[in-house]
Structure 1
Amino acid sequence: MRWSSLTVLSLLFSPVLPLTCYVCSSSSTNEDCSKYTQDCPAPLNTCMTTVDTLGLMKAIVKQCASQATCKGAASAASVDANGNGNRVDCCNYNMCNYSRAESVHTHTSLMLLTACVLVLQSI
């Protein structure tokens, strides 16, 4: 019984390791934006990736954020039919935001492909 009490106490007081995220202030490619990492200070518990697209220009920002901040930004983000706008992705395990910016490009490409198929079917 004594060992189980010590085990519970050690789990309660064991240090919590910080979340590690890729960070960059603004890059045009995911590769440039995924060179540096940061241990997120409390209460920042989410890796946030923002991709702003306007035509052929893209600005990617990766940072530590609180879950509430990231979810709020993600709910306000939008991309139009031309692929312009911004997208915000949130994740919460170490270095999970490495390829989040690439998924936006893939998502936009799939949207455009679907639009082209629909247009061709209506002709």
Structure 2
Amino acid sequence: MGNLSGLLVFLLTVYSVNSLKCYVCSSTPSNEHCNRNAEECQAPLDTCMTTVDILGEVKAIVKQCSSLRTCAGAAGTASLDASGNGNEVTCCSSHLCNFSTAPTIQLCTWLLSLPLCLLILLIKQDG
């Protein structure tokens, strides 16, 4: 039991000390311009969020630190019409994971929930 408690404390410490770093930009027309600036996300922002607004040949890319809830909500309402106009939102949770604007970037929820799973395991063993 002591080993599991120690592991949990260690993982929670590492998880909170190593804050997430994301590329950030504000309404930039190209991904290359967006990837010139990286920022360390401040708690409770735990997700890199990329929004691509498309209107014909014009793109506006916004990258920022976000909360998982905000990013997931925005991704759930994002859509493109038959002409390819609209917006795409992608979420990810590893360092500088929002390098690309490709919609294949997926949220690594298992990494975000690892400390919670370990805590639940610890509580079940006590009970």
TM over 0.5: yes
1:81 to 1:37, Cα distance in 2 relative to 1, 3 A: same
Query: What percent of counterpart residues are identical?
Result: 53
1:66-116 deviations in Å (ceiling 9; x for gaps): 0000000000100011110000000000000001x2x25xxxxxxxxxxxx
Cα distance in 1 between the residues matched to 2:48 and 2:8: 30
Q: Look at both structures and tell me which one has the larger radius of gyration over its CA atoms.
A: 1
State the AA in 1 paired with 2:95: N
Does the residue aligned with 1:97 lie in a helix, a strand or coil? helix
State the AA in 2 paired with 1:39: E
The residue that corresponds to 1:38 in the other structure is 39
Give the superposition deviation at 1:47.
Answer: 0.2
State the AA in 1 paired with 2:48: C
The residue that corresponds to 2:87 in the other structure is 86
TM superposition score normalised by structure 1: 0.73
The residue that corresponds to 2:10 in the other structure is 11
- Aligned pair count reads 101
State the AA in 2 paired with 1:32: H
Q: 1:24-63 counterparts in 2 under 5 A?
A: 24-63=25-64
Point out 4+ residue stretches in structure 1 off by more than 3 angstroms.
7-10, 12-15
Cα distance in 2 between the residues matched to 1:13 and 1:88: 29
Give the superposition deviation at 1:13.
Answer: 7.4
Structure 2 unmatched ranges of 5 or more: 104-127
Structure 1 unmatched ranges of 5 or more: 105-123
Give the superposition deviation at 1:12.
Answer: 6.7
Does the residue aligned with 1:74 lie in a helix, a strand or coil? helix
Cα distance in 2 between the residues matched to 1:84 and 1:94: 29
RMSD: 2.3
The residue that corresponds to 2:107 in the other structure is none
TM superposition score normalised by structure 2: 0.71
